[in-house]
C-alpha cells in the first residue's frame, strides 16, 4: 500500500501517494480557496489562491503539489491569509465591478472570496492603477468579458482537455494578458469553437457567460403585437430547482409545475414544452433510420439534436456529414411546427406574429437559432434562447418566489409529451427513446423491457449496446457518445472501420444536455463525490417511469394527431420542408 502520512493544521491525515495537498486538506474538510483548480482537469497553478505554508518549503500552491511523508502544512496561518489577500487585492485592481447587474451575482466565487477575506480595494484610489482596457467579445452563443476575468485559465483547460477544440487561450503578456479566441478569429463564431459553453460553467466569475437574450425576450413580452410562445427542453426541469436551493437531482414533479407557473407569471402568452417535439424528433429520426437500414445507408446514422455536436462535425469531420440525420433538433422542430402549422391553424395567429422562445440547458442553441438554414420564408424558427440560468435570473429579477408557486399544467397540445421525450435530456436518452419506437415499428410488437440500462450512465464517454430484432432478423449496434473528448475518440474508431455501427447518438456536452453549458453552476469544491450529470439524469428517468401516461413517442395521441392533421407521415414532403435541415462543411474555421 502506498500511503503517506502528513499533518495539516495539526491534524494528521493519511492519503494515498500522488494525492495533492489540496485534496488531502479537503479530505479533512479543511476549506482551501481556489480559482483555477478543477479536479482532474486543471492544476495549472495560476491564481495562487490555494497557497499554504509548508514547513521547510515556505509558501506553496497546494493544488498541484503532491503530499509527502511527514509534511507539516498550515493552510490558515497569518502568512497564508496575507498572501491570499494580496492576491485578491491585485485581482480586484483589474476588475470591472458591477455586481448588482452581474449574471453571476449569486454564484461568483471571486466575490465570495473578496467578502470572506474582507479585501480592501487598495488600488482603486488612484487613476494611475487603471491600466486595463475592458474588451467585451460577443459571439452568437458566448460572451467574453475581460473586465471580469481573473485569468485563472480554468476555461482554457476545460476547452482543451474535456471538449478538445482548445479555442480559448492566454493571449499577450504581462498586464495585457487576455483570455481570447485563439488563432486569427475575432469571435468564437469565426473559429472552431463548438459553442458548448462548458467554459462558462467553470468560470469563477462572469467573464464567460451565455450571450444575453433576456433583453430581447423582455422586449418581446412587452410588445403587444407579438404572441410570445415559450418551450423548455427536457433537461431544464432536471435543474431549474437548483438556483432556488432545491438539491441537485430533485424529482421533476416537484419543480416542473412551478416552472410552468413561473413562465405564465413572467408574461409568456403560451406555454408549450420541447418534450413534445422530442417525440416528433423520434418519429422523424427513427423513420430516417429505418429508411437507411432498408435502403442501404449511409450508416451509421448520427443523431443531430445537439448543436455543439453539429458545429463539431461540420468543422472537424465534414467528411462524415452524410451520416448525419437531417432532422432538426427538437426545439427547432417545435418552433417551425408552431409557426407554420399550429399557430395559423389553431390559434389564428400568423407565423410572423409568433415569437418563439426556447429555454435550454445549452448555450449552443443560441448559435443554432442563428444558423442561416433555420427559417421559412424569412421567418426564423426560433427567436430567442434563454439558458436555464437565464430563466432563473429572470424569475428572481421579477421578484417571483419560485418555491411558493402553485403548480400549473399547460393544456396546450404542444405541451404534452411521453417519457421518451423526457429522457432526451440524459446521455443515451435519445437512443433509448428511438429504440423504443424503432423496435415496435420494425417488429410489430411491443419492446419487452422499456428500460435500456446499457445506454444509460455517464461514466464512460462512449457506451455501446446491441439490439436484437428477432422477427426482422437484424442486430443493431448502437453507440452513445458525449463530450468533445468522446466524439474525438469515436471518430478515431470510425476511421479505423473495424467496428460496425448502425446508429450513434452524439451529444456535445459530457453527460448530455443535463450537464449542458447553460445549466446552473455547481461549484467545483461541492462536486466532491457527486456526479451532477448522473443525479440530474436520474430525475428524468424517474419522471419517465412514474409521471407520464405514455413512454413511447409513437403512442402519443398528440403526435399521432400532428401527423394525421398536418404532416401526413414521418419523412413526408411537409415534414422535410419544415422539420429537416441541411449541413455544410465548415472546416475552414480550423485554419
Name the residues that contact another protein, by CB under 8 A. 43-48, 51, 58-59, 61, 64-66, 83, 86-87, 90-91, 93-94, 122-123, 126, 128-129, 131, 150-151, 153, 169-170, 172-177
Q: Which residue in the shown chain puts its C-beta closest to ligand FES?
A: 63
- CA angle at 281 for the pair 280 and 286, rounded to the nearest 5°: 105
Least Å distance, CB 320 to another protein, is 27
Least Å distance, CB 371 to ligand SF4, is 16
Q: Which of 26, 60, 84, 148 binds ligand SF4 (CB under 6 A)?
A: 148
User: How, if at all, do strands 301-302 and 503-507 pair?
Assistant: parallel
Given 365, 366, 463, 589, the catalytic residue: 365
Among 52-60, 106-114, 409-417, 438-446, which window interacts with ligand SF4 (CB under 6 A)? 106-114
Asked if 288 is an active-site residue, the reply is yes
Phi-psi region of 42 (alpha: psi -120 to 50; beta: other; left: phi over 0): beta
> For helices 274-294 and 429-443, what crossing angle results, to 10°?
50
Region 41-80 residues binding ligand FES, contact defined as CB under 6 A: 45-50, 61, 63
Choice between 169 and 413, CB closer to ligand FES: 169
Give the CA distances from residue 445 to residues 242, 464, 474, 496, 526, in Å, rounded to whole numbers and listed in that order.
41, 24, 15, 36, 46
Region 205-224 residues binding ligand SF4, contact defined as CB under 6 A: 205-208
| Residue 50, binding choice from ligand SF4, another protein, ligand FES, none, Cβ under 5 to 8 Å by partner class | ligand FES
Asked if 492 is an active-site residue, the reply is no
| Residue 105, binding choice from ligand FES, another protein, ligand SF4, none, Cβ under 5 to 8 Å by partner class | ligand SF4
Handedness of CA 406, 412, 418, 424 (dihedral sign): negative
Given 14, 55, 186, 373, the catalytic residue: 373
User: How, if at all, do strands 375-376 and 379-380 pair?
Assistant: antiparallel
CB-CB contact of 458 with 531 (8 Å): yes
Asked if 373 is an active-site residue, the reply is yes
Least Å distance, CB 509 to another protein, is 26
Give the number of residues in contact with ligand FES, rule: CB under 6 A: 12
**Cα–Cα distance measured from residue 6 to residue 455, given in angstroms and rounded to the nearest whole number:** 42
In the numeric block, the cell 412514474 is attached to 546
| Residue 102, binding choice from another protein, ligand SF4, ligand FES, none, Cβ under 5 to 8 Å by partner class | ligand SF4
Choice between 26 and 104, CB closer to ligand FES: 26
Closest by CA position to 94, among listed 145, 60, 139: 145
Closest by CA position to 414, among listed 570, 252, 262, 271: 271
Give the CA distances from residue 463 to residues 358, 405, 503, in Å, rounded to whole numbers and listed in that order.
29, 39, 12
Q: Which of 33, 153, 410, 425 binds ligand SF4 (CB under 6 A)?
A: 153
Q: Which of 25, 35, 141, 414 binds ligand FES (CB under 6 A)?
A: 35
Choice between 161 and 226, CB closer to ligand SF4: 161
Q: Which of 84, 104, 261, 349 binds ligand SF4 (CB under 6 A)?
A: 104
For ligand FES, the binding residues (CB under 6 A) are 34-37, 45-50, 61, 63
Q: Which residues are catalytic?
A: 285, 288, 305, 325, 365, 368, 373, 513
Amino acid at each position: 500500500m502506498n500511503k503517506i502520512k502528513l499533518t495539516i493544521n495539526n491534524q494528521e491525515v493519511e492519503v494515498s501517494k500522488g494525492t495533492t495537498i489540496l485534496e488531502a486538506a479537503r479530505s479533512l474538510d479543511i476549506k482551501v480557496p481556489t480559482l483555477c483548480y478543477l479536479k482532474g482537469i486543471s492544476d495549472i497553478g495560476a491564481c495562487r489562491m490555494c497557497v499554504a505554508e509548508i514547513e521547510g518549503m515556505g509558501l506553496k500552491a497546494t493544488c498541484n503539489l503532491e503530499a509527502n511523508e511527514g509534511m507539516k502544512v498550515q493552510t490558515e496561518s497569518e502568512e497564508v491569509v496575507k498572501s491570499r489577500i494580496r492576491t485578491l487585492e491585485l485581482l480586484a485592481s483589474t476588475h470591472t465591478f458591477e455586481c448588482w447587474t452581474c449574471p453571476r451575482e449569486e454564484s461568483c466565487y471571486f466575490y465570495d472570496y473578496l467578502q470572506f477575506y474582507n479585501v480592501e480595494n487598495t488600488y482603486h484610489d488612484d487613476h494611475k492603477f487603471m491600466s486595463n482596457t475592458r474588451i467585451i467579445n460577443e459571439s452568437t452563443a458566448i460572451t467574453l468579458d475581460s473586465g471580469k476575468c481573473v485569468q485563472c485559465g480554468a476555461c482554457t483547460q476545460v476547452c482543451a482537455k474535456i471538449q478538445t477544440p482548445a479555442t480559448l487561450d492566454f493571449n499577450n503578456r504581462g498586464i495585457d494578458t487576455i483570455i481570447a479566441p485563439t488563432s486569427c478569429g475575432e469571435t468564437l463564431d469565426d473559429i472552431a469553437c463548438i459553442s458548448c459553453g462548458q467554459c462558462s460553467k467553470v468560470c469563477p466569475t462572469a467573464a464567460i457567460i451565455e450571450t444575453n437574450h433576456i433583453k430581447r425576450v423582455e422586449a418581446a413580452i412587452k410588445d403587444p403585437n407579438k404572441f410570445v410562445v415559450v418551450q423548455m427542453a427536457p433537461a431544464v426541469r432536471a435543474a431549474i430547482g437548483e438556483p432556488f436551493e432545491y438539491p441537485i437531482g430533485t424529482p421533476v414533479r416537484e419543480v416542473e409545475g412551478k416552472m410552468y407557473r413561473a413562465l405564465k407569471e413572467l408574461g409568456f402568452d403560451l406555454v408549450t414544452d420541447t418534450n413534445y417535439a422530442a417525440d416528433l424528433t423520434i418519429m422523424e429520426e427513427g423513420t430516417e433510420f429505418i429508411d437507411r437500414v432498408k435502403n442501404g445507408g449511409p450508416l451509421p446514422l448520427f443523431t443531430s439534436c445537439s448543436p455543439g455536436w453539429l458545429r463539431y462535425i461540420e468543422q472537424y469531420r465534414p467528411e462524415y456529414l452524410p451520416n448525419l440525420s437531417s432532422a432538426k433538433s427538437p426545439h427547432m422542430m417545435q418552433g417551425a411546427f408552431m409557426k407554420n402549422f399550429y399557430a395559423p391553424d389553431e390559434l389564428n395567429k400568423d407565423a410572423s406574429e409568433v415569437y418563439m422562445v426556447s429555454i435550454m440547458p445549452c448555450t449552443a442553441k443560441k448559435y443554432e437559432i442563428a444558423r442561416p438554414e433555420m427559417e421559412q420564408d424569412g421567418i426564423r424558427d426560433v427567436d430567442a434562447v434563454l439558458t436555464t440560468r437565464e430563466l432563473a435570473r429572470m424569475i428572481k429579477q421579477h421578484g417571483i418566489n419560485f418555491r411558493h408557486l402553485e403548480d400549473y399544467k399547460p393544456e396546450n397540445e404542444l405541451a404534452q409529451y411521453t417519457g421518451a421525450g423526457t429522457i432526451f435530456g440524459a446521455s443515451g436518452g435519445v437512443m433509448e427513446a428511438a429504440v423504443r419506437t424503432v423496435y415496435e415499428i420494425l417488429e410489430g410488437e411491443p419492446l419487452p423491457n422499456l428500460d435500456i440500462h446499457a445506454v444509460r450512465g455517464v461514466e464512460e464517454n462512449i457506451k455501446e449496446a446491441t439490439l436484437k430484432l428477432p422477427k426482422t432478423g437484424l442486430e443493431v449496434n448502437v453507440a452513445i457518445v458525449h463530450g468533445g473528448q468522446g466524439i474525438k475518440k469515436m471518430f478515431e474508431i470510425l476511421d479505423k472501420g473495424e467496428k460496425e455501427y448502425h446508429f450513434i447518438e452524439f451529444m456535445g456536452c459530457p453527460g448530455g444536455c443535463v450537464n449542458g453549458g447553460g445549466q446552473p453552476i455547481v461549484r467545483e469544491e461541492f462536486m466532491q463525490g457527486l456526479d451532477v450529470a448522473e443525479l440530474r439524469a436520474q430525475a428524468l428517468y424517474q419522471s419517465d417511469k412514474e409521471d407520464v401516461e405514455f413512454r413511447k413517442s409513437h403512442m402519443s395521441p398528440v403526435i399521432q394527431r400532428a401527423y394525421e392533421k398536418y404532416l401526413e407521415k414521418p419523412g413526408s414532403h411537409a415534414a422535410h420542408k419544415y422539420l429537416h435541415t441541411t449541413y455544410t462543411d465548415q472546416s475552414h474555421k480550423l485554419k
